[in-house]
Chain A
Amino acid sequence: MIRVGIAGLGRMGVSHFAIANSHPSAKVVSICEPAAFVRKALERHAHVKCFKHYEDMVEKESLDAIFITTPTRYHYPMTRLAIENGLHVFVEKPFCLNPQEGQELVKLATEKGIVNQVGYHSRFLGTFREAKRLIGSRKSGDVYHVLGEVYGPVVLREAKKTWRTEPTKGGGCLYDYAAHIINLMQFLNGPIKYVSGSVLQNIYSKEVDDAVFSSIQFENGATGQIRANWSEDTYRKFTAQVTVFGKFGKIRVDAQELHVFFKQSLEKDSYCSGWNTRWLTDLSPGVGFYLRGEEYSLQVDYFLRAIKNGTRNNTNSFAAAHDTDKVISLIKADADGRTG
């Protein structure tokens, strides 16, 4: 049985708790959380050991793995301590606020040989995985443009101050929303080399950006655009969509649907020339425990299986998330250069 600890019982912490605890190979044995209200509830009703201080949990409990689901600025010191104690680490996205710190953690994780993963859950959605497979099946260099969009209703008015509204704590649309779409674009079309024309726009927030717009260039020569906006009332929830333009045709993909236009079908494809549509119901593998979308269960299962089987993955490693952090920094520097 993999003994799991959870650090930070916000929305993601609670979600990972339920999913990991239902996994046949794992059990959540302890948590760490500053709010006494939450600690008391879990001690009494979930019967796990609760810690106020992170160091106490990591050093005193004999854990195998940890989920770090705290505000972003704590990711670096907490992940570092966990690796030093030999724990396998799953940390929420974005990885680190400072890419140098991320680089250090990538190196440390490799040296220690621990399983390391970051919670970019969209990479586990059947639709996006199929889009990646289709792009891979075509000639490399065929893709010439990728449009990545992410919208949702997070800040719809001038809001109360929380860590999400403070730039030094990892708040803002760039860290919260744009990170997802940058990571997905890298998943689909490889590393991003340059950014230009970046704008971090305030809509309601005073101190952080509510929208991000940027032009990018991939290492493989394709261009792209990022549009992220978390002050978008017209979306009921977080919605990421990617449109890939290629010499082969076009792919438009979101969490539920995959639309593919192929100029010519390949013999091995089950896709015809012209428009094809696939749905999540065709593309999603089943999960052992369902909470809020297959992708959340699949990413936890992937992490726990790597620990159990001794494999060192992975789809969502620290290194991949570090690449996303680097692009976030490029966009910030580019936007600052403009406004400053």
Chain B
Amino acid sequence: MDRILFGDNQFFGVNHLSEEKSRAQSERFRDTGKIIEVLDFVYEAGLRTFMCTTHDRIEEVCNHIRENKNRYTGFRIYPCLPYGHKYNNAVAELGLFGAVKKMLPGNLIGSIARGGAAVAQGNYISMMKMLIDAELKMFRGIETGVIFLQNIVTDLLLGMGMTDFLGAFHDYVKKEYKVEAGFISMNFPKLLPELEKCGIKNPIICTSINKIGFRMPGGLHLYEDLAAQGRCRLIAMQSLAAGAIKPEEAMVYVCRQHGIQSILFGASTRDHILETKSLIDKFSCQ
């Protein structure tokens, strides 16, 4: 994994600090061309990994990358699935069962038959695999490398003690897609031992890590201790604590922590991308 991963929240109006900023961002990125423009800055700046949700509009980004392969040599996308809102709305409207049926890949007759049988027999792991396939279709022909499970699903399964699905996700992604599986989580200290119990060695975990301990259940020191033990490949997200920490101060902290392999950040402008990259480069070398 690269030291710096570029994220996608800013493209879809996700802003944890301000509704107004969120509105402005969704206006700015109404047109997928604007997203691609930013990704071009990212590529120019020398960053090579884009970590993103399986939002419908990412499909358009994928099409663009496929059609212009030569311009994006070495560029990788790390998909994070599932895209939560899609399921959330479906569950509210159709119930859990209805939502699963709706999300199964309905345009392939074979998979309807397979999906129908899996649903009828209550083979939940098979259903999960089909949902993964459905979500990943948009990335065909694109270099991935790591496929992540979104935090809402990781943490729900973790909390409910249904960790066999986490193990099954890991094994399926490795076997079928020949890439690594990653887990986004807001509960790193609880997750790590559970993944180890599932037999996953040195798992890839993406979690909030920032100087003020924002959204770090268990507290800053526990995170620091666990990170330093080197039992996993750790990606720090929310390093700026939703903007509560100044960029320089934020990056000094995460760059100097032991055991953090990569840092995920998102930005909307060329200046911000360059500034954050140079901060990470500078403090990572010291």
| A residues with CB within 8 A of B | 9-11, 14-15, 17-19, 21-22, 28, 35, 37-38, 40-42, 44-47, 154, 159-160, 162, 164, 234, 236-237, 239, 254, 256-257, 279-282, 286-292
Residue in chain B with minimal CB distance to A15: B156
B92 and A291 contact, CB distance less than 8 A: no
B190 and A289 contact, CB distance less than 8 A: yes
Residue in chain A with minimal CB distance to B91: A11
Chain B: residues with Cβ within 8 Å of the partner, total of: 47
B91 and A10 contact, CB distance less than 8 A: yes
For the complex of A and B, 6 pairs with smallest distance between CB atoms: A18-B159, A281-B244, A290-B186, A45-B162, A40-B122, A37-B97
A154 and B95 contact, CB distance less than 8 A: no
In the assembled complex, the Cα of A203 lies from the Cα of B244 at a distance in Å of 39
Chain A residue numbers with a CB within 8 Å of B93 are 159-160, 162
B19 in the interface (beta carbon within 8 A): yes
In the assembled complex, the Cα of A45 lies from the Cα of B213 at a distance in Å of 32
A281 and B217 contact, CB distance less than 8 A: no
28 residue pairs from A and B, CB less than 8 Å apart: A10-B95, A14-B156, A22-B187, A35-B96, A38-B96, A38-B97, A44-B122, A44-B124, A45-B165, A46-B162, A47-B161, A160-B93, A162-B92, A162-B94, A164-B92, A236-B14, A256-B16, A256-B18, A256-B19, A280-B16, A280-B242, A281-B214, A288-B218, A289-B187, A289-B190, A290-B187, A291-B156, A291-B159
In the complex, what's the smallest C-beta–C-beta distance from B91 to chain A, in angstroms?
A: 6
In the complex, what's the smallest C-beta–C-beta distance from A309 to chain B, in angstroms?
A: 21
B161 and A46 contact, CB distance less than 8 A: yes
Per the 8 Å Cβ criterion, residues 150-166 of B in contact with A are 152, 155-156, 158-162, 164-165
In the complex, what's the smallest C-beta–C-beta distance from B116 to chain A, in angstroms?
A: 13
In the complex, what's the smallest C-beta–C-beta distance from B144 to chain A, in angstroms?
A: 27
In the assembled complex, the Cα of A21 lies from the Cα of B190 at a distance in Å of 12
In the assembled complex, the Cα of A47 lies from the Cα of B212 at a distance in Å of 37
Query: Other CB < 8 Å A-B pairs besides A35-B96, A254-B19, 10 of them?
Result: A14-B156, A18-B159, A19-B159, A21-B159, A22-B190, A45-B165, A257-B18, A281-B212, A289-B217, A290-B186
In the complex, what's the smallest C-beta–C-beta distance from B238 to chain A, in angstroms?
A: 10
B219 and A286 contact, CB distance less than 8 A: yes
B28 in the interface (beta carbon within 8 A): no
B269 in the interface (beta carbon within 8 A): no
Q: Is the interface of B mostly helix, strand, loop or mixed?
A: helix
Given contacts A256-B17, A291-B186, contact A18 B160 (CB under 8 A): yes
In the assembled complex, the Cα of A289 lies from the Cα of B127 at a distance in Å of 27
In the assembled complex, the Cα of A279 lies from the Cα of B16 at a distance in Å of 10
B216 in the interface (beta carbon within 8 A): yes
B129 in the interface (beta carbon within 8 A): no
Chain B residue numbers with a CB within 8 Å of A37 are 96-97, 100, 119, 122
In the assembled complex, the Cα of A97 lies from the Cα of B213 at a distance in Å of 41
In the assembled complex, the Cα of A112 lies from the Cα of B186 at a distance in Å of 38
Chain A residue numbers with a CB within 8 Å of B13 are 236
In the complex, what's the smallest C-beta–C-beta distance from B83 to chain A, in angstroms?
A: 13
B215 in the interface (beta carbon within 8 A): yes
B187 and A281 contact, CB distance less than 8 A: no
In the assembled complex, the Cα of A18 lies from the Cα of B219 at a distance in Å of 20
B91 and A236 contact, CB distance less than 8 A: no
In the complex, what's the smallest C-beta–C-beta distance from A269 to chain B, in angstroms?
A: 21
B88 in the interface (beta carbon within 8 A): yes
Chain A residue numbers with a CB within 8 Å of B16 are 256, 280
Chain A residue numbers with a CB within 8 Å of B242 are 279-281
Chain B residue numbers with a CB within 8 Å of A287 are 217
Given contacts A22-B159, A41-B122, A281-B17, contact A292 B244 (CB under 8 A): no
B126 in the interface (beta carbon within 8 A): no
Chain B residue numbers with a CB within 8 Å of A291 are 152, 155-156, 159, 186
